[in-house]
Structure formats: structure tokens, C-alpha cells
């Protein structure tokens, strides 16, 4: 019987017919009530097939009936799927994320929903073993090979048998027909092997051992807590949290490690495997359907004890979660901007709270938010102040581009070129960092001044010279690189303006023809394999100079890399982004950390037009605390996060007039209290994106205001026309 309903005798809908609420993985406002057929056993969390209009859908039983529709009008559940129900923790998490982000639970449930075939148990495998002895069996050499290998009681699949004995499937079939082999079905083996917890980790330094011990105690306490592991790159943060992983696994708890997608490198996986003997389960957007299904199931059934994944792994059906690790916690890539806008780090902390589990945040450059949480004693912090093995931090200097003469089409200063030559002569490796894909960010006509823009975005097209195309980095639109100006139709007047990584490569090839130069960007790395090959090449010393975008900045450990050159350090500072300085500091610090990670000391040269900027000053002096003090002061006095709250409304429509009218209507009924301010409407910096005209409003409130009810009341006053959209972004990180 369905207990929840039996207890529920006071509400009018508790009639003889049983009903439950079912959440559907669609953005509609659910859940909806359905009848439970008399012979069906239904529990909250059960996956069910239900009719919706003319469609058949899969949903999740959410709880007691809402009672808003007369039971007589309800339709029955069609089928209960025989699978491990969605854990209560996940259902609570879905509701929580929905309420916080102002989405519907259905939209969030969609991220937690398996594909239907993940719920069907894997097909059993057919294996063969010796049957009862058959008299007068004709024995051929092939038959004998099969029989002898099975004689010690083994059961093997046809494939394994064929591989081990070299016989054809006909031989096996013949033996079955003759009755000499029994064919039977056994459950498929679990997809993930258990990590080897008896393997010793490395011998830890004193500071590392202390940190590991602290985390171990957190795990044994079985309580929610957040601990920041704050250590320079190469200090052994990963080794330390591996110890925490080992103790959580020893306690038979599941572990989730979140990495920004870009840091999910083969190197990280290899390190895990070296430590624990087996690879972890992984979860990211590039998984195949089959991998997705297998992994989802393995988490639900408890076979996958550890998952390392991108933020979407938060919605996997862990039922025994005992530790959550967020590596590179400062990464803004944890923020999801499409669909439900949520911050992976913040929601991971919520998820851990629901599971009553400790959280470990790791970073060499913790975010300002996290630093403030440490100073408020909400988070604890562990410091690993030194690089492991005595490696020293690199020396960092700026190259003042205001006083550097560069001929046309040169972007790398003589000073940096000289340093590159020195490094290579010494048999060392170097890295050049420029956070811009392609060859040039702008193509301009020298004759008429026309700039080639994307037809559906307010953005220039980036030239990709290798592929001979112009491409929009916002919507993906691309055209073959034109030879005549699309506006004045003159030939040979188009010029590339500004550098991307491809152009830096061209420059290096012409300046240092002997050097072996490689380029690593999301355009050149198609999938994890090509990235792995590339990383191997660097590790094996097959490359002298590595040029790349932020893809090269993270996680890699190249012992022989001693020089890092930053081609344009000012790139991220432009624009009105609240976190521009912080983010620039973090990425440059991160890239700098690639230099001199082993015995040989590293050096970093930063090309900048603003050497006196606080970001550059902090990098050169190593005085990070001073920089964050200034940033904190600025945020505090301005009432910006984390000292105040922000929510953005992004209004979009194909019709510019509709977008304007809607944003003005919203502005007219904006909440107005002493502790809430609404800024805008203003055209978004990307005022046109994929053909949509975009306007922004920003709600800024003091910290003690719960912005969700305020926003709900505000939005309720407006009817959004069908040809427009209002997207709500709580705690926005992108202001484009």
C-alpha cells in the first residue's frame, strides 16, 4: 500500500482512488497528479510511464497527490519501471535548485533524468561451460582445445573462447549441439572495478600530511563541512585530496570530484589510475550514449564508487555520497549559462549539505567569494604554501608594451623571443599563452573600412586561417574566407587585425624556423585523444614551444617547461565585468604556474600595456593578499557580491522593438525598496545574439534580501509576449 496517502486522510482528495504527484522532465510547471492502478506498488522516486496529452512520457513519482484536480478526472499511471528509484536526496536537490534558480523543477529534473534505456538492466551475457561428459564425442584438435580450457570449471563467452583457442564459432556451436558444452546466461559484469584502497599513496610532506589528516577526520565525522585547500600550483593539492578520496571509499561512501570540463584531462585520469589502480568513472558532455547509460546506472546501483566529472555530474543519482571535491573552485566555467543557470560549485555545496557530506574546494587562486567565506568562518582552510619537492615559484616580470617597438604583424617582443631562444638552447621547453582562438579577431577592408561581422550577432567574425574560414565564436556561423571585400568588392584589400594563437604560431615559425612548435586550442584538439597525443608529445620532449589558449593553462604538469610568455595580459581586463580583474589574475597566475614545476626554475614574461595595473603588480610581487584586499574593499563599498546579491534579467526577442518595450515595461514595475536597486534596461554588450536582440536589467540587493520572491513578484506583473523571452540569471557571472 502507498503509505503516504493512507496517512493523508484530512484532505478532500484522499478518496478510495489512490493518486500521486509525478514530476515530468520538461519545463512545464509540475508536478501533475496521476492515479495509481490498484495492482501497482508505487513509491516516491519510482520512474513511471504516464500519458501526457497524446504522448507517453517518463516521469518520477514526486510525492503525495497535489489534490488540485478532482481524482475522477485523473489519468492512471501506465507503467512502473522496475529500477532503483531516484533517491530522495536527488529529488530534494532538484526542488532546491529549481527554487533557487527560479526554474521549474521539471527543467532541473531533466538534468537528473536518465535515458530510458539506462533503467533497463544490461543484457545478461551468454557463456559456455563443460556439460556432462558425452559418450562417443568426436574429438578434433579444435574441439580438444575448447574442452581443455574449460576443464577447470571456467565459463567463457563465445568471444573469449574464440580468442583463447583460435577456434571458430562453428566449433563451439557443434559442441553445444553435441551436448558437450552447456550454454548459460550470467549477469553482465559490473562496468567499473573497485579502486584499490590498499595501494599506498606517496609519502606526504609534513604540511600535506597535516592537511590529509584534517580531511580524513572530516570524512569520519559524517557531517557537512566545507574545507578549502589553498596551495600554490604544484603544492600537492591533488595528492592531498586523493587521501580524502581514499578514506571516503574506505568508509564505503561514494565520491564526486568536479573539475571544470577543460581540466578533465587524460593526465588527471592517469594520475588517478596510478594512485588507485583503476580509472574512475567519468562524466562530461562528450560521452557517448552508451557510456552515459552505463555510467548513470553504475552510479545508481552503487557500482561506480567514484565519479570525476563536469558540473552536470552533480545530478547523478548518488545514494551514498560521502565526499564532494571541487577542484579549481574559482573557475567561472562552473557556471552554467544555458538553460537552467546555476553555479556548479555553489550547487555542489548544497548537494553535499543534503547528503550530510564534507566538501573540499581546491585552488591555487581561490575565488573572492570563497576567501570571504573563509574569513567569515563558514569554510575552513588548509594552506599548502610550498611547491612539492623544493621546486621554487617562477620569477615573474612584465614587458612594457608601451615602450616596445614592434614592426607590423609582430606581436611577440624581442625580449620574449630572446628568452624563448635561451630556453630552447638550454634544452628546455616554453609556452606562449594567448586566450584567443583562430588567426585574427577582426578582418577589415583597407579601402572602405568595412569590418566583417556575424549576420546574427553583434560580433566580428574571427579568421581561422588553417581552415580558411571566418567564424563567429558566439553562434558558430562560418563562411569561407572571402578574397574580395563583401562591401566594396575590391580585391586584396582585406587585412587581418590583431592576433589569435594561429598568428602567434606563424610569427614563431618565421622567427625560429628550427624550433618545434605546437598549437593547442579547442579548434585543433578534436576530442580527448588528440589532446592526449599532444600532451604526450610535450612530455616526451618532442615539442619546444607550446602555443595555446586557456586549454594549456590548466592542470598540466610539464617538468621541462621553464618559460611562460603571456602575449596579451590585458585581454581580459576590458569590459565592465565585475570579476574581470580577479579572473585575469587567476588565469595568468594559473598559466604562470606551468613554468618551472620540477628541478629547473621557471620564469614568466608578461606582455602588457598596463604594467602598473593591480593585477600585474600582484603577479610580479607575488603579493596576492594585497590584491584581494583591494578587490574585497571595492566589492564591499559597492555592495557587489558576495557583500550584496545580484540577479540579471535578460530580455530577448527577434524583434528589437519587442525587446525594448518588454524591458521598459519590466523597468516600470521594478521593485523599489531601500535595499533593492534595479539597473537598466540597457542593451546587452552582445546586443544581438543568434538573431535575438538582447536587453539587460540587473537587480542589486543587500545580502539579507531573498531575491527569489522579489523576482517572482516582479515577473508576475508582466505578460511576456510569445515572441520574447525573459531569462533569469541568479548570481550572474557573465554580463554579456
Closest to ligand ADP by CB, 125 vs 204, is 204
Number of H helices and number of E strands within the chain? 20, 30
The values of phi and psi at residue 679, to 5°, are: -105, 140
What gap in Å lies between CA 522 and CA 530, rounded to an integer? 11
Closest distance to ligand ADP from the beta carbon of 586 (Å): 14
Kind plus residue range of the DSSP H or E element containing 147: helix 141-150
Closest distance to ligand ADP from the beta carbon of 311 (Å): 20
Where does this chain touch ligand ADP (CB under 6 A) — which range of 81-89, 109-117, 124-132, 197-205? 197-205
Does 202 help bind ligand ADP (rule: CB under 6 A)? yes
Give the DSSP per-residue string, 5-31.
Answer: HHH--SSTT-SSS-EEEEE-SSSSS--
> Are 232 and 593 a contacting pair, CB within 8 Å?
yes
- CA 367 centroid distance within chain: 17
Closest distance to ligand ADP from the beta carbon of 234 (Å): 4
Closest distance to ligand ADP from the beta carbon of 51 (Å): 51
What gap in Å lies between CA 57 and CA 49, rounded to an integer? 6
Does 452 help bind Zn ion (rule: CB under 5 A)? no
The values of phi and psi at residue 35, to 5°, are: -80, 145
> According to CB under 6 A, which residues from 219 to 238 bind ligand ADP?
231, 233-238
Closest to ligand ADP by CB, 80 vs 387, is 387
Does 475 help bind Zn ion (rule: CB under 5 A)? yes
What gap in Å lies between CA 193 and CA 305, rounded to an integer? 9
> According to CB under 6 A, which residues from 380 to 409 bind ligand ADP?
388
- Number of other CB atoms surrounding residue 685 within 10 Å: 15
Closest to ligand ADP by CB, 365 vs 505, is 365
Where does this chain touch ligand ADP (CB under 6 A) — which range of 13-21, 201-209, 335-343, 407-415? 201-209
Helices (H), 593-655: 614-621, 624-638
Closest to ligand ADP by CB, 110 vs 554, is 554
Does 267 help bind ligand ADP (rule: CB under 6 A)? no
Cell output for 380? 575552513
Where does this chain touch Zn ion (CB under 5 A) — which range of 21-29, 72-80, 300-308, 456-464? 456-464
Where does this chain touch ligand ADP (CB under 6 A) — which range of 183-191, 203-211, 432-440, 486-494? 203-211
Does 477 help bind Zn ion (rule: CB under 5 A)? yes
Does 599 help bind ligand ADP (rule: CB under 6 A)? no
Query: Considering CB distances under 5 to 8 angstroms, the limit depending on partner class, which of ligand ADP, Zn ion, none binds residue 472?
Result: Zn ion
Does 208 help bind ligand ADP (rule: CB under 6 A)? yes
What gap in Å lies between CA 692 and CA 456, rounded to an integer? 8
Closest distance to ligand ADP from the beta carbon of 704 (Å): 36
> According to CB under 6 A, which residues from 547 to 566 bind ligand ADP?
557
Closest to ligand ADP by CB, 61 vs 384, is 384
Query: Considering CB distances under 5 to 8 angstroms, the limit depending on partner class, which of Zn ion, ligand ADP, none binds residue 174?
Result: none
Does 92 help bind Zn ion (rule: CB under 5 A)? no
> Are 691 and 456 a contacting pair, CB within 8 Å?
yes
Query: Considering CB distances under 5 to 8 angstroms, the limit depending on partner class, which of Zn ion, ligand ADP, none binds residue 557?
Result: ligand ADP
Where does this chain touch Zn ion (CB under 5 A) — which range of 372-380, 451-459, 535-543, 614-622? 451-459
What gap in Å lies between CA 381 and CA 48, rounded to an integer? 44
> According to CB under 6 A, which residues from 148 to 187 bind ligand ADP?
none
**520: which strand partners?**
548
Contact pick of 178, 204, 630, 665 for ligand ADP (by CB under 6 A): 204
What gap in Å lies between CA 474 and CA 152, rounded to an integer? 62
Closest distance to Zn ion from the beta carbon of 684 (Å): 14
> Are 301 and 316 a contacting pair, CB within 8 Å?
no
> Are 584 and 592 a contacting pair, CB within 8 Å?
no
The angle formed by the CA atoms of residues 666, 670 and 672, to the nearest 5 degrees, is: 170
Q: At what angle do helices 88-101 and 105-112 cross, to 10 degrees?
A: 130
What gap in Å lies between CA 276 and CA 273, rounded to an integer? 5
Contact pick of 60, 310, 472, 605 for Zn ion (by CB under 5 A): 472
Cell output for 336? 552554467
Contact pick of 457, 535, 552, 606 for Zn ion (by CB under 5 A): 457
Closest to ligand ADP by CB, 231 vs 344, is 231
Torsional sign, CA 70, 76, 82, 86: negative
Closest to ligand ADP by CB, 239 vs 331, is 239
Contact positions vs ligand ADP (CB under 6 A): 202-205, 208, 231, 233-239, 388, 557
Residues lying near Zn ion in the complex (CB under 5 A): 454, 456-457, 472, 474-475, 477
Amino acid at each position: 500500500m502507498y503509505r503516504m496517502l493512507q496517512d493523508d486522510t484530512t484532505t478532500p482528495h484522499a478518496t478510495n482512488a489512490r493518486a500521486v504527484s509525478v514530476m515530468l522532465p520538461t519545463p512545464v510547471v509540475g508536478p501533475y497528479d496521476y492515479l495509481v492502478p490498484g495492482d501497482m506498488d508505487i513509491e516516491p522516486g519510482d520512474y513511471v510511464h504516464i500519458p501526457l496529452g497524446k504522448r507517453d512520457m517518463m516521469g518520477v513519482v514526486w510525492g503525495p497527490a497535489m489534490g488540485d484536480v478532482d481524482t475522477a478526472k485523473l489519468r492512471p499511471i501506465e507503467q512502473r519501471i522496475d529500477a532503483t528509484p531516484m533517491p530522495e536526496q536527488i529529488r530534494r536537490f532538484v526542488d532546491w535548485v529549481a527554487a533557487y534558480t527560479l526554474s521549474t523543477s521539471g527543467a532541473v529534473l531533466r538534468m537528473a533524468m536518465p535515458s530510458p534505456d539506462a533503467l533497463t538492466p544490461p543484457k545478461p551475457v551468454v557463456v559456455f561451460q563443460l556439460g556432462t561428459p558425452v559418450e562417443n564425442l568426436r574429438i578434433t584438435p579444435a574441439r580438444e582445445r575448447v574442452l581443455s580450457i574449460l576443464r577447470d570449471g571456467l565459463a567463457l563467452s563465445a568471444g573469449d573462447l574464440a580468442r583463447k583457442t583460435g577456434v571458430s564459432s562453428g566449433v563451439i556451436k557443434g559442441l553445444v549441439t553435441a551436448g558437450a558444452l552447456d550454454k548459460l546466461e550470467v549477469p553482465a559484469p559490473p562496468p567499473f572495478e573497485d579502486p584499490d584502497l590498499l595501494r599506498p599513496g606517496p609519502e606526504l610532506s609534513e604540511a600535506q600530511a597535516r592537511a590529509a589528516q584534517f580531511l580524513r577526520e572530516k570524512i569520519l565525522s559524517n557531517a557537512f563541512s566545507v574545507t578549502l585547500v589553498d596551495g600554490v600550483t604544484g603544492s600537492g593539492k591533488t595528492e592531498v585530496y586523493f587521501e580524502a578520496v581514499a578514506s571516503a571509499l574506505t568508509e564505503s561512501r561514494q565520491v564526486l570530484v568536479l573539475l571544470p570540463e577543460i581540466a578533465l584531462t587524460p593526465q588527471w585520469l592517469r594520475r588517478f589510475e596510478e594512485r588507485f589502480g583503476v580509472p574512475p568513472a567519468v562524466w562530461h558532455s562528450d560521452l557517448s550514449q552508451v557510456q552515459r547509460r552505463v555510467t548513470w546506472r553504475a552510479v545508481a546501483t552503487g557500482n561506480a564508487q567514484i565519479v570525476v566529472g563536469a558540473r552536470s555530474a552533480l545530478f547523478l543519482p548518488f545514494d551514498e555520497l560521502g565526499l564532494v571535491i571541487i577542484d579549481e573552485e574559482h573557475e567561472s566555467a562552473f557556471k552554467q549559462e544555458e538553460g537552467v543557470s546555476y553555479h556548479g560549485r555553489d550547487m555542489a555545496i548544497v548537494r553535499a549539505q543534503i547528503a550530510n557530506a564534507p566538501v573540499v574546494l581546491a585552488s591555487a587562486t581561490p575565488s573572492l567569494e570563497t576567501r570571504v567565506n573563509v574569513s567569515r568562518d563558514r569554510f575552513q582552510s588548509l594552506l599548502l604554501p610550498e611547491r612539492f619537492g623544493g621546486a621554487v615559484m617562477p620569477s615573474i616580470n612584465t614587458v612594457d608594451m608601451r615602450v616596445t617597438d614592434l614592426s607590423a604583424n609582430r606581436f611577440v617582443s624581442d625580449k620574449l623571443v630572446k628568452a624563448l631562444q635561451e630556453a630552447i638552447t638550454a634544452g628546455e621547453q616554453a609556452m606562449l599563452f594567448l586566450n584567443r582562438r583562430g588567426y585574427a579577431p577582426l578582418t577589415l577592408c583597407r579601402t572602405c573600412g568595412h569590418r566583417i561581422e556575424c549576420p546574427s550577432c553583434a560580433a566580428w567574425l574571427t579568421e581561422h586561417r588553417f581552415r580558411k574560414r571566418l567564424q563567429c565564436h558566439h553562434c558558430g556561423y562560418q563562411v569561407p574566407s572571402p578574397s574580395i571585400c563583401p562591401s566594396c568588392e575590391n580585391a586584396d584589400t582585406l587585412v587581418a587585425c590583431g592576433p589569435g594563437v594561429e598568428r602567434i604560431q606563424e610569427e614563431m615559425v618565421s622567427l625560429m624556423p628550427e624550433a618545434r612548435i605546437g598549437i593547442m586550442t579547442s579548434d585543433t584538439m578534436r576530442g580527448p585523444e588528440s589532446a592526449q597525443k599532444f600532451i604526450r608529445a610535450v612530455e616526451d620532449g618532442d615539442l619546444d614551444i607550446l602555443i595555446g589558449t586557456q586549454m594549456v593553462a590548466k592542470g598540466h604538469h610539464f617538468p621541462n617547461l621553464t618559460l611562460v610568455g603571456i602575449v596579451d595580459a590585458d585581454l581580459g581586463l576590458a569590459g565592465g565585468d565585475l570579476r574581470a580583474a580577479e579572473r585575469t589574475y587567476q588565469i595568468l597566475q594559473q598559466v604562470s604556474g606551468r613554468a618551472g614545476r620540477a628541478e629547473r626554475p621557471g620564469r614568466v614574461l608578461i606582455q602588457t600595456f598596463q604594467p602598473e595595473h593591480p593585477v600585474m603588480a600582484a603577479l610580479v610581487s607575488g603579493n596576492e593578499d594585497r590584491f584581494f584586499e583591494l578587490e574585497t574593499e571595492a566589492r564591499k563599498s559597492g555592495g557587489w557580491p558576495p557583500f550584496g546579491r545580484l540577479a540579471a534579467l535578460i530580455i530577448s526577442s527577434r524583434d528589437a522593438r519587442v525587446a525594448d518595450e518588454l524591458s521598459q515595461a519590466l523597468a516600470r514595475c521594478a521593485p523599489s525598496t531601500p535595499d533593492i536597486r534595479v539597473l537598466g534596461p540597457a542593451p546587452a554588450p552582445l546586443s544581438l545574439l543568434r538573431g535575438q536582440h538582447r536587453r539587460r536589467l540587473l537587480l542589486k540587493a543587500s545580502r539579507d534580501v531573498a531575491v527569489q520572491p522579489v523576482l517572482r513578484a516582479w515577473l508576475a506583473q508582466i505578460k511576456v509576449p510569445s515572441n520574447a523571452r525573459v531569462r533569469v540569471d541568479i548570481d550572474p557571472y557573465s554580463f554579456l
